[in-house]
Amino acid sequence: MRKILLFLPLVMFLALGGVFYSQLGKDVNYMPSALVGKSVPDFTLVSLFDDELVTNADLPSTPYLINFWGTWCPACHIEHPFLNRLAQSGITIIGIDHKDQQALALQWLEEKGNPYQQVLMDEIGHFGLDMGITGAPETFVVDSNGVVAYRHQGEINEQNWPTMKEYLQ
Amino acid sequence: MKPIIHSVLLLMAVLAWPVSAQEQIVFSSELNQTRYQALVTELRCPKCQNQNVADSESSIALDLRRLVFEMIEQGKTDQEIIDYMVARYGAFVLYRPEHSSATFLLWYGPFILLAVGVLAFVLIIVSNRKRRRTPQ
């Protein structure tokens, strides 16, 4: 019995080592979203193209993505072509132009193409805060019940799209 | 000499301008300012996780600072502001987690371990003393 006790420090060392090892290489910016499992918060925003007021009632009833972007955001430049491809393959994307200027945003979509079914302006960033975003780009997957199923920080690309796609139903 | 001093002073003022212009917020009372300072140092920046909202220059931290300021000026209590943040960013934004069943081990685990250690220490001392008393 005493001899077994002598191995206790070794066992604890190995257990701790295992815990630390499993944490290696994780994305340090990852943060769990408080919104997952909840419905999209109430909003009233102005649409980019026609200055119309848009509320939750105008959101699609099919699964869709909410993508936060801005012309000031370098990673959004990288992400944009991929969003165009997603839109071409029939994915509904609602764009939130986060803390941006209307003229710049219109010019950007003119030049790069518009993957969004709708673009809403979040000029002061309040809707972004309500959604709990940490920056741009950031994308939420909303299922057919209007519930946020998944949140992705950073750009969407070939590598992470398959994971997101799973939630889009 | 005097014009030089003047131009140097002017230059210093101009260089200091961006710093002072960065965030000009005026509180309606000293208490509100103190509450603001306390809250922004207690809140963790969601973007740069090793900084609090007060230290971070990320755009989201700027937004959160402005929001805390607005909520304080609107007469919201500290708890209301904290609840608002937790509802959006999760318990994650609190540098001091709330006491709850989920955070029980976090808060009291070290003390439990300490108690176990002290207990083991006492038991070993007692058993050693007993062994010494009994003649070999």
Closest chain B residue to A124, measured at CA: B63
Please report the ipTM that was assigned to this predicted complex: 0.74
Examine residue A137 and say whether the peptide bond preceding it is cis (omega within 30 degrees of 0): yes
Q: For position B21, what pLDDT does the model report?
A: 44
The 3-class secondary structure across A38-103, one letter per residue, is CECCCCEEEECCCCCEEEHHHCCCCCEEEEEECCCCHHHHHHHHHHHHHHHCCCCEEEEEECCCHH
Output B1 or A83, whichever has higher pLDDT. Answer: A83
pLDDT digits (tens, 9 = 90+) for A29-47: 777 788 888 999 999 999 9
User: How far apart, in whole angstroms, are the C-alpha atoms of residue A55 and residue A51?
Assistant: 13
Q: Kind of pairing, strands A44-47 and A148-153?
A: unpaired
Band of residue B17 on the pLDDT scale cut at 50, 70, 90: low
Residue A21, domain member (yes or no): no
User: How far apart, in whole angstroms, are the C-alpha atoms of residue B6 and residue B2?
Assistant: 6
* Interchain pair A129, B67: CB under 8 A: yes
CA A138 to chain centre: 3
pLDDT digits (tens, 9 = 90+) for A69-106: 999 999 999 999 999 999 999 999 999 999 999 999 99
**CB-facing half-sphere around the CA of A31: CA atoms within 13 A:** 26
Q: A153 to chain B, minimum CA–CA distance in Å?
A: 10
Q: For position A92, what pLDDT does the model report?
A: 94
B57: DSSP letter: -
**What is the rounded average pLDDT of the residues A130-142?**
91
* Interface contact B60, partner A, CB < 8 A: yes
First vs last Cα of chain B: how many Å apart? 96
Could you tell me the two tokens for A75? 């990673």
Output A149 or A136, whichever has higher pLDDT. Answer: A149
Residue A6, domain member (yes or no): no
Percent of chain B's residues with pLDDT above 90: 38
Residue A17, domain member (yes or no): no
> Which residues lie below 8 Å from residue A119, measured CB to CB, with a gap of 6+?
A47, A48, A49, A94, A95, A96, A97, A105, A109
CATH of residue A82: 3.40.30.10
Q: B82 to chain A, minimum CA–CA distance in Å?
A: 14
Mean pLDDT of chain A: 91
Q: Of the ranges A50-54, A96-100, A159-163, B55-59, which one carries the lowest mean pLDDT score?
A: B55-59
Q: Of the ranges A31-35, A151-155, B63-67, which one carries the lowest mean pLDDT score?
A: A31-35
Pairs of residues, one from chain A and one from chain B, whose beta carbons lie less than 8 Å apart: 42
Residue A12, domain member (yes or no): no
pLDDT at residue B20 tops 50:
no
What are the sequence ranges of the domains in chain B?
2-98, 99-136
Range 104-133 of B in CB contact (< 8 A) with A: none
Residue A1, domain member (yes or no): no
Contact between A99 and B59 under an 8 Å Cβ cutoff? The reply is: yes
Enclosing domain of residue A59: 29-167
Rounded to two decimals, the pTM is: 0.76
Burial of A93 from C-beta contacts in 10 A (0-12 / 13-18 / 19+): buried
Closest chain B residue to A41, measured at CA: B88
Rg of chain B over all Cα atoms, to the nearest angstrom: 26
Could you tell me the two tokens for A9? 């420090």
Contact between B89 and B63 under an 8 Å Cβ cutoff? The reply is: no
Q: For position A45, what pLDDT does the model report?
A: 93
Contact between A92 and A117 under an 8 Å Cβ cutoff? The reply is: yes
Rg of chain A over all Cα atoms, to the nearest angstrom: 21
Residue A128, domain member (yes or no): yes
Band of residue A137 on the pLDDT scale cut at 50, 70, 90: very high
CATH superfamily of B2-98: Cytochrome C biogenesis protein (1.10.8.640)
Residue A18, domain member (yes or no): no
> Which residues lie below 8 Å from residue A118, measured CB to CB, with a gap of 6+?
A47, A54, A58, A94, A95
Domain count of the fold of chain A: 1
CA A101 to chain centre: 21
Given A34, A99, A134, which is nearest B47 (Cβ)?
A: A134
Output B23 or B127, whichever has higher pLDDT. Answer: B127
Output B100 or B12, whichever has higher pLDDT. Answer: B100
**What is the rounded average pLDDT of the residues B7-17?**
68
Q: For position B28, what pLDDT does the model report?
A: 87
